[in-house]
Amino acid sequence: MNTVISKWSSETVVAGRGIRRMPVGFGPTIGPRQGPEGRDFNGTWSKNTTLSVTYFSDPEAIGRLLPPGFEPSPDGRVTVQALYNTDFAWLAGRGYNWVEVLFGATYRGVEDVVAGDFVVVMWESIPDPVLPGREELGLPKMFAEIPAWEVSDGTTKVRASWDGFEFCAMTLEGLELSPWDLAAEATATPSRGGLTVGGGPRMYYKYIPRTGAWHEADAAYATCSPAANYDVKVIDSWQGAGAVEFTPATWEQLPTLSHIVNPLAELPVLHSGEARMSRVLLAFNDLADQRILR
């Protein structure tokens, strides 16, 4: 008589955290927090180029886009970042790009008060990081086409689009990116840093609807990643002027994104901040240190 041992059995969880995602019948999933045979990718180095523009908007308008427990920073700070990444160990040496929008914000809960950046939305260029980021961490990830930056006449430009419709464009004036500096990489020393310009905590709001009772939540709570939670080796940096523009769209143009892009396009730019570029070697952090805010 043959005995079938289901991969759902706890006997299969021999290494790693035993994290599962759909489809569940194949045993613990493989992803950024758990590789084959439970492999841990923390501390593996990847190359990162981050381009960002900060501006200041109406705090009241920002507040209308924040979930429960959050209030906007008094200065109405908005940061749009584009991150270009290569050599991720968890993707067997591949990489991807993402564009994200952050609001300066404070979370006030029963136990926790945290000031930092609330991550409003993240668009990533491949689906593989979107699924674990949404399901495991509650990160607000979506898909978009994010090609390599363009350099023309002393200006670097970032574009994000969906099915050919460009909904976000960011320009950094006076920045002409040169090839990666291998000499600087060889002599760079590690320090602690983060993914955001100020290096503060990154906050999110995890929400998953309940099947069949769609107005109810299976999960609904704020989460936080600590400040300066990465080891980095700085290769190059730059500061200057820049601008970002979101293009309003009809539902037909962006059937799953127009309800996100249009409110961002409507935020008034009261005054501009600065543009930044950083190039770093980034030691991978799987964000298992993320916690629920209470």
DSSP 26: G
pLDDT above 60 (res 231): yes
pLDDT of residue 196: 80
Q: By C-alpha distance, which of 81, 238, 222 is closest to 149?
A: 81
Give the Cβ contact number of residue 293 at 10 Å: 21
Tell me, what's the pLDDT at 224?
97
What pLDDT shows up at residue 199?
A: 75
Q: Mind listing the pLDDT tens digit for each residue in 89-112?
A: 999 999 999 999 999 999 999 999
The H or E element that residue 199 is part of is none
pLDDT attached to residue 263: 99
- Of the CA atoms within 13 Å of residue 111, those in its CB half-sphere come to 5
pLDDT of residue 69: 98
The share of the chain scoring above pLDDT 70, in percent, equals 95
Q: Read off the pLDDT band of 41 (50, 70, 90).
A: very high
pLDDT at 33: 94
Q: Residues 60-64: what's their mean pLDDT?
A: 98
CATH 2.40.400.10 matches 50-292: yes
Would you list the domain boundaries of the chain? 50-292
CA-CA distance, 168 to 154, in Å (whole number)? 20
- Write the pLDDT tens digit of every residue in 191-229: 999 888 777 899 999 999 999 999 999 999 999 999 999
**What is the pLDDT confidence band of residue 178, given thresholds at 50, 70 and 90?**
confident
- Worst-scoring range by mean pLDDT, 20-29, 41-50, 84-93, 135-144? 20-29
User: Sorting pLDDT into bands at 50, 70 and 90, what band is 58?
Assistant: very high
How far are the Cα atoms of 59, 70, 135, 287 from residue 144, in angstroms, in the given order? 27, 27, 18, 23
Collapse the DSSP code of 285 into the 3-class scheme (helix H, G, I; strand E, B; otherwise coil) and give the result. coil
pLDDT per residue as tens digits for the range 138-157: 999 999 999 999 999 999 99
Q: Is the pLDDT of residue 6 over 60?
A: no
Is the pLDDT score of 21 beyond 70?
A: yes
- The pLDDT score that the predictor gives to residue 138 is 95
| Residue 24 CA to its chain's centroid (Å) | 26
How do the residues of the chain divide into helix, strand and coil, expressed in percent and rounded to 5? 15, 45, 40
pLDDT at residue 141, rounded to an integer: 99
Read off the pLDDT of each residue in 36-63 and give the average, rounded to a whole number.
97
